[in-house]
Structure formats: structure tokens, C-alpha cells
Amino acid sequence: MADVKIVKPKLKLSIEFSRSGYLAITKAVVGGAKAAAGHSVNRKQVRKSTQLTEDQLKDANKRVKWYKKRDEDKIKTDVAKNDFEAMIYKLRDWLREDENAPYVEEGERDSYIERLTELEDWLYEDGADANYTVYGAKAKNMTKDFDRFNNRKVLDEERPKSVESARKVLTKILDKVAEMKEAKPWITDEEKKDVTEKLEEVKKWLEETLEAQDKLAKHEDPVFKPADMNKKL
């Protein structure tokens, strides 16, 4: 009977240092010099008495995640709280400026300033420990009101320049259409008429809108907006 040579399988272990300084087996493969050529085997390492158990590790990871989220929420809350407080001061200062007075009706302005004082009191009392989402929502509402008030002022100050510029553009286009009769005789009268009719429509819209605008007080939302004019041009 021939001797049978028994080949002992090779066991390959992957070992790393753990955070606690112990050697930890991360992978075990039997057979083959490479992991892909062998078969992975189950491994369970007996932990030292000073090491955390699997359940303890899971609990520890949960606590780490909880603390991380708590710190992130605190940063968000601090930022949102500062932004909210800054918006109170910004809007209140704007409302108190004499040059801005025409753009907010007096009763609305006084009421809003009083409301801002109440919000400031809330910030240091009942709202001192509010979540960042609460501060963010309140700041967003104030920002919308500030933009609405300030937009009235900006559009009022820019209106003369915008109207003058629009009228110059309309006149320039009409002059160019008139020049086409000599410079570009292949363009038909019907085609030129189509352009001039559109220009007349825009001119009519401009004058009617400006007439409606003149009837409004400065504290009312404007009907003439340069953006609308630019689209038509």
C-alpha cells in the first residue's frame, strides 16, 4: 500500500491592531496562498476582560452618533439664532429710518416695530432654547417682509432711469425700422408693420402701467417693474 501524503491546508489570517492596542483578527482564509483562492472561515476572537463586548460596542457607537448629532444641531441652532436676532435689528433699523418712512404705511410700521420688540423678548425668554428650525422659519418670514418693503424703495428710486432707458430703446428700434426702407428694401412692408405694431403695443403698455403707478402711494406694492419691461423689450 502506497504511502498517502497528507497535505496540510494553509490558514491565512489578517491581523490588525485595534484602537485599544490589542491584535484583532479581521479575516481568516483556509487553502490557497491568496484570499481569492481559498475559503473564508468563521472566526470569533475571545475578547479580553478589559475589552468591550459586541453589545457594548454597538451601544458605544449609538452614543457617539447621538453626541455627534447633538453637537451638529447645536451649531445649527447657534447660527440660526444669531441670524434671527440680526434680522430683528436689521428690519427694525430700516423701519426707523426717515428716508424709508414713505414706503411703509405709518400704522403698519408702528405695529411691525412693536412686533419685532415682542420677538426680541421671546428670543431671550420662552424662545431661548428653541430649535434651529423655529428660528429659521421666523427669520425667513421677516426676510420676506424686509425684501417686500425695501423693494418698494429700490423700484421707486430706479423707476425714472428704467423708464428713460426703455423709451430710448423703443425709439431706437423704430428708427432702425424706418431706415430699412432704404437700406434693406427686400424686407416687406408687412414684415416691418409686424414689428412696429409690437412696438406700439409695448409703448401703450408702458404708458398705461406708468399711469396706474402714479395713482399708487409709495407704501403700496408697485405695478411697474423693470423686469417686466425688459421681458417685453
For 175-210, write each residue's pLDDT tens digit: 888 888 788 888 888 888 888 899 999 999 999 999
pLDDT bucket at 35, cuts 50 / 70 / 90: very low
Grid coordinates belonging to 66: 447621538
Dihedral angle sign, alpha carbons of residues 213, 217, 218, 221: negative
Max Cα–Cα distance, the chain, nearest Å:
119
**Integer Cα distance of 118 and 127 in angstroms:** 11
Give me the residue label for grid cell 418670514: 141
Tell me what pLDDT residue 148 has: 96
Tell me what pLDDT residue 147 has: 96
Q: From the centroid of its chain, how far is CA 230?
A: 26
The yes-or-no verdict on residue 4 having pLDDT over 80 is: no
The yes-or-no verdict on residue 117 having pLDDT over 50 is: yes
Q: Which residues pair with 14 in a beta bridge?
A: 27
Give the C-alpha distances (Å, rounded to integers) separating 145 from 123, 133, 135, 170, 232.
19, 19, 16, 35, 28
Grid coordinates belonging to 107: 400704522
Give me the residue label for grid cell 423655529: 134
